[in-house]
Amino acid sequence: MLSRKELFKDTLKKAAHAWKRTVELHLTEEEANLLRLYIDQPGYVDLHWVMFVPAIKGQGTEEQQKKWLTMAYKFQIIGTYAQTELGHGSNVQGLETTATFDPSTDEFIMHSPTLTSSKWWPGGLGKTSTHAVVYARLITEGKDYGIHGFIMQLRSLDDHSPLPGITIGDIGGKFGSGAYNSMDNGVMRLDHVRIPRDQMLMRLAQVTREGKYVHSDVPKQLLYGTMVYVRQTIVADASRALSRAVCIAVRYGAIRKQFGSKAGGPETQVLNYKTQQSRLFPFLASAYAFRFVGQWLKWLYTDVTQKLESKDFSTLPEAHACTAGLKSVTTSATADAIEECQKLCGGHGYLNSSGLPELFAVNLPACTYEGDNVVLLLQVARFLMKTVSQVASGKQPVGTTAYMGNIQHLMQCKSVVNTVEDWLNPAAIKEVFEARALRMAVNCAQNISKAPSQEEGFEAAVAHVQLIIVTKFIEKLQEDILGHGVKEQLQKLCGIYALHLIHKHLGDFLSTGCVTARQGSLANERLGKLYAQVRPNAVALVDAFDYTDHYLGSALGRYDGDVYSALYKEAWKDPLNETVVPDGYQEHLRPLLKQQLKLSRL
Ligand SMILES: CCCCC/C=C/C(=O)SCCNC(=O)CCNC(=O)[C@H](O)C(C)(C)COP(=O)(O)OP(=O)(O)OC[C@H]1O[C@@H](n2cnc3c(N)ncnc32)[C@H](O)[C@@H]1OP(=O)(O)O
Ligand SMILES: Cc1cc2nc3c(=O)[nH]c(=O)nc-3n(C[C@H](O)[C@H](O)[C@H](O)COP(=O)(O)OP(=O)(O)OC[C@H]3O[C@@H](n4cnc5c(N)ncnc54)[C@H](O)[C@@H]3O)c2cc1C
């Protein structure tokens, strides 16, 4: 087991190699991010590519982009995204770092006025990054204009030592053995560090030579644009992580046999047990659902970005609500699913050689970074409340809230489901999800005037986001899908995804009158039939993810199924097995055993 310093150095070596290849091969950002996935190290490539570069692209002027991105693409500088502080992360407007303009020198003075203003968490900040986009309160002419982004050099490009006035280091070990412990999330304190005025990212606003603050004609929320970009990538990351865990658990479930042998025959594959299927197959369906909605979200983000180019900001609220909501729902579901997949693999699921503990440790933080999942869903709730009031005033909603325009029907419709088979009808499923989401949003809006309940808003937001995921799965199935029988299997998975949500949130569907108790039990009956129908193709459906054994990194999820010899082989690689008699025996165990033995002979 590598020490944290060895782990860091090993990862730095891999990352530096990746960067070198990125430059030599002239990789695009997309290709560099694919390389990041192959390395599968939550490391230095993340923040440089995933946040530092996009922040400059989104908030820098053309001139600033030309200057800084040229260096960033060639890895002449290595950047991070320094927004979160010891005292504030969710509340960006509460950040305390200051950037005070000094007209006498045409500089900003960057300062950490309090302990809680210390920058805290930025990936790569601790030991690697030479530069950062630092978010700070812009103060000029004695007035505080709120949070803006500034490019700062942190370390010497000669010997990597921190520049004067900058105290910088790593925040210490984190959850899990490998995972984020290979990344130097850092702490930084600034003591009146001066930077040129032109290092303020000036696409959204600027300060003139005289110190006048001038806001440009773009919405101030573009300051948050980098986070919107990363949130949409995180949905795709979640679908990948979930599909890896499901691949391991399904393959192992097909190999593992326990009980159920008749007359000395073979025991039963655990994947044949109904309890195993009802715990695992909703995750299999979710892995496909999240992949499809992630593809759609990437389209939405690209579309919004193109509109922004032509100063069309109309879909910015939708982009924020969708990226925030889908990041929240998919990462929470994925973290829970990976943990459950460990349990689905019994004792061996807790071995590092299963690949599941590492997968869990790497993906759990996604529920927090890039926005705490509750905070983000409350943003979706805010967006829904605004939409409900616009509908009430006669405005026709569009995009993912278009269903709210059908308010007359959806507020009183009854589900058409009368038989188990009716739950196979996508239109019936979609209508039930639309009615639930709308009624929960309207109930929340009606109650908001009484006692604004965060809980109601939160749940209405979950209902809205789950509707988006179900809708995108249904729409995907309306496309031409190659491969004999593939569409049929995906239809079953779509049914499982939707009906498992009805089962899980039956209280919502009943309390809003969208389904009756009988329709609820028909849904459960349909679900059980779908599990049985998917079982024969379960292994094929995870093989379809096409992960190599290297990428999966799991003795339980091997393509050849040779699990037991892989587990046994992995065990002997552990450093503890380098000696048959363990270190410490002579000092600690032998004296005790000898003494007790002597006593027993008296
Ligand atoms: C590969 C993975 C690498 C991971 C490395 C990790 C990196 C990080 O974690 S970076 C740091 C991430 N930090 C966060 O995500 C912070 C989360 N907090 C926020 O985003 C904001 O503080 C907030 C949105 C929760 C609140 O912002 P605030 O300015 O206070 O805004 P209001 O709630 O008052 O809303 C005002 C208005 O603006 C709209 N809006 C908010 N955010 C956005 C956005 N990103 N894009 C577009 N519009 C946005 C919001 O909807 C309101 O609109 P109206 O209702 O129309 O007024
Ligand atoms: C692995 C990792 C990497 C990171 N990398 C970076 C990075 O590179 N750059 C960077 O700038 N940051 C980074 N962060 C920081 C991250 O963005 C923040 O931790 C995140 O935004 C959450 O903010 P917080 O820690 O302030 O949580 P808090 O907001 O303090 O959350 C604590 C609790 O309060 C609740 N809460 C907060 N506000 C409300 C509210 N209004 N209503 C209801 N409940 C509320 C939350 O739901 C949560 O349960 C990283 C974090 C992690 C874990």
- Length of the chain, in residues: 602
- Of all residues in the chain, the percent with pLDDT exceeding 90 is 80
Task: Give the residue from 133, 256, 105 showing the smallest Cα distance to 194.
Answer: 105
Give how far Cα 562 sits from Cα of 3, 252, 556, Å. 31, 10, 8
33 pLDDT above the threshold of 80: no
Lowest mean per-residue pLDDT among 15-24, 102-111, 190-199: 15-24
CA dihedral 264, 267, 272, 275 (to 10 degrees): 110
Domain residues of the chain, as ranges?
4-216, 225-396+421-541
For the CA of 81, the nearest atom of ligand 1: 10
454 pLDDT above the threshold of 80: no
Pocket of ligand 2 (CB under 6 A): 47, 81-84, 89-90, 121-123, 180, 185, 365, 368-369, 371-372, 374-375, 378, 454
Q: Rounded distance, CA 183 to CA 186, Å?
A: 9
Q: What are phi and psi of 158, to 5 degrees?
A: -90, -55
Confidence of residue 43 (pLDDT cuts 50, 70, 90): low
6 pLDDT above the threshold of 70: yes
Task: Please give the average per-residue pLDDT across 299-320, as a whole number.
Answer: 92
276 pLDDT above the threshold of 80: yes
Is domain 4-216 annotated with CATH 2.40.110.10?
yes
Which tens digit of pLDDT belongs to each residue from 536-578? 999 999 999 999 999 999 999 999 999 999 999 999 999 999 9
pLDDT score recorded for residue 38: 64
Nearest CA to ligand 2 atom 36: 375
pLDDT score recorded for residue 219: 87
Confidence of residue 258 (pLDDT cuts 50, 70, 90): very high
Give how far Cα 308 sits from Cα of 59, 230, 319, 468, 576, Å. 12, 17, 11, 23, 57
- Candidates 81, 154, 331, 372: which one to mutate for ligand 2, based on the most atoms within 8 Å of Cβ? 372
CA–centroid distance, 224 to ligand 1, in Å, is 6
For the CA of 123, the nearest atom of ligand 2: 8
Task: Please give the average per-residue pLDDT across 364-374, as a whole number.
Answer: 96
101 pLDDT above the threshold of 80: yes
**Beta carbons of 557 and 533 less than 8 angstroms apart:** no
If one compares 251 and 177, the residue with the highest pLDDT of the two is 251
CA–centroid distance, 56 to ligand 1, in Å, is 18
Classify 225-396+421-541 by CATH class. mainly alpha
pLDDT score recorded for residue 264: 83
Which tens digit of pLDDT belongs to each residue from 521-545? 999 999 999 999 999 999 999 999 9
Write down the catalytic residue from 96, 358, 370, 459. Answer: 370
Which tens digit of pLDDT belongs to each residue from 309-318? 888 999 999 9
- Candidates 49, 379, 395, 448: which one to mutate for ligand 1, based on the most atoms within 8 Å of Cβ? 379
If one compares 232 and 33, the residue with the highest pLDDT of the two is 232
Lowest mean per-residue pLDDT among 29-38, 65-74, 583-592: 29-38
Annotated binding site: 84, 123
Which ligand neighbours the alpha carbon of 231 most closely? 1
| pTM, 2 dp | 0.96
Nearest CA to ligand 1 atom 45: 224
242 pLDDT above the threshold of 70: yes
Q: Mean pLDDT score of the chain, rounded to an integer?
A: 93
Annotated binding site for FAD: 84, 123
pLDDT score recorded for residue 468: 98
Task: Please give the average per-residue pLDDT across 241-269, as a whole number.
Answer: 94
Confidence of residue 46 (pLDDT cuts 50, 70, 90): confident
Helical spans, DSSP H, in 256-273: none
If one compares 27 and 274, the residue with the highest pLDDT of the two is 274
Pocket of ligand 1 (CB under 6 A): 46, 50, 81, 83-84, 89-93, 123, 221, 224, 227-228, 230, 234, 316-317, 320, 369-371, 375, 379, 382-383, 386
Bridge partners of 196, per DSSP, are 107
For the CA of 237, the nearest atom of ligand 1: 1
